[in-house]
Amino acid sequence: MTMTTAPPTTSPDPVSVPVEPPPKRLKLHGRAFYESIGSPKRIVAPMVDASELAWRILSRKYNADAAYSPMLHARLFAETEPYRRQSLRYAPTSDTEPALSYDGEPKSDRPFLIQFCANDPQHLLAAAKTAQHHCDAVDLNLGCPQGIARKGHYGAFLQEQPDLIYKLINTLHKELDIPVTAKIRILDTKAKTLEYAKMVLDAGASILTVHGRRRDQKSHNTGLADWSYIRYLRENLPPETVIFANGNILYNADVEACLEVTGADGVMCAETNLYNPAVFMPPTASFEEKFPRVDVMVRQYLQIVRDLTFGEGNPVVELSKERYREHASLTCVKSHLFRLLHAVFNKKEYHYIRNTLGKATGHRFNEILELADELEKVVEEQLKLTPETPEQWDEIMKEAGGPGADAKILRIPWWRCQPYVRPTPQQAYENGAMQKSKKELNAASKGSKEPKRELDAESAASDSKEGTKRQKVEEPQSEQIKANDQLASLESNVSG
């Protein structure tokens, strides 16, 4: 492929600010709002640097019903124009601007919710008022458990300040032209979680997303989400409450199982969506549709990024670093490809592809496209050596005891999109990826019991066929452990 230099006069400008907002629309609340956007059941989660426009378009192609923006910082969005330009692509305001897709475009990006993290009601309101004309609702992140959220005092680290949370949500509920929604994590007990959920709803949230993990369940200590908490909320909140469940989705069948077990209206997926965007395909879909070839998925994804960046049918040109940073979908390409290709990179013979990707630069997009060409050759050569048959696909599904069963992890071929199976906390201890704290070591040396990191007594008592019945994870091979540890560093960017 040849590289040309972009003429400055023809370089597309995807971030023009609208002259004036559209007419004010009728504001709905709760289930009426949920139904007005089509009652979505399969939702792409808000993820830092991961649920940007190109990825949402790809996910919708594979049966996602709704999607959230990446988590945006409210104060920065309200006060910093470069941050807004990098975070949100606006619709063109004149016929002279390139006809590129944009965030919240009716034909390609709805239903669309924009998520903010915040700890100041006025900063949040200012950001939300700027964003509200580009989405169906504004969401407050109360679930991020990462260190950056602790340092910035937002996300799950607001749990101890219910008055502040109430004010954040209620301010948007009263002042915005569109609904406000919220995403939370569960607390120590079901009773406390119910009280927390009621407060969020009373403040004005139209949709409540519940991640079935506690704040300390992250990274190698992620463990299993507890669906029984979500079921408890479903049974103890008013029936008109709209609930999205989040956590424990590895395969397509898990989406249907989660809906049945929790009674939730919809299922939100984050991490697995990044490794296999086809996770939302319906139960009736074929094996090939549920686990697409990685080269096909990469090619489709890169075509979307190309069209968003340069315009459909236009040549690929080298961008300056400044212009490159303004294209959110372009800046996320490498991290997305590392996740899509994690099974490929477990094979030593293909480490050269991983190394090539690591050295590639996003502002030279042709380098990424050439990598896709190489990936296509590798998969085609493999399929000549080991042709696939429907009988083999059926056998793979039977290994797990049938669709939706939790007996073991499916053995998906490395050339197909598949979930990243995170080691359990016990496996992380054993392979050295996680170490016990001084408090735990002192407790162990004194002969006392280690702090329990799984379900509390209340959850354990109710954990039967319903609730948390997730997968038994097979012991990973040593090579897989090393690759998983590398991939885990990427996940620190994914919002909770």
Tokens 């032209």, located at residue? 177
Q: How far apart are CA 473 and CA 46, in angstroms?
A: 26
Residue among 144, 269, 332, 417 flagged as catalytic: 144
> Environment class of residue 387 by beta-carbon count within 10 Å: exposed (0-12), middle (13-18) or buried (19+)?
exposed
Tokens 């992890």, located at residue? 409
Task: Judge whether 206 and 37 are in contact, CB under 8 Å.
Answer: no
End-to-end CA distance of the chain, in Å? 40
Task: Judge whether 145 and 223 are in contact, CB under 8 Å.
Answer: no
SS3 365: helix
Q: How far apart are CA 476 and CA 482, in angstroms?
A: 10
| DSSP E strands, 270-414 | 317-318
Q: Is the peptide bond before 111 cis (omega within 30 degrees of 0)?
A: yes
Burial of 81-96, coded b for 16+ CB within 10 Å and e otherwise, reads eeebbbbbbbbbeeee
Catalytic status, residue 269: no
| DSSP E strands, 212-318 | 242-246, 266-269, 317-318
Tokens standing for 260? Answer: 């049945």
> Environment class of residue 73 by beta-carbon count within 10 Å: exposed (0-12), middle (13-18) or buried (19+)?
buried
* Residues with catalytic function: 144
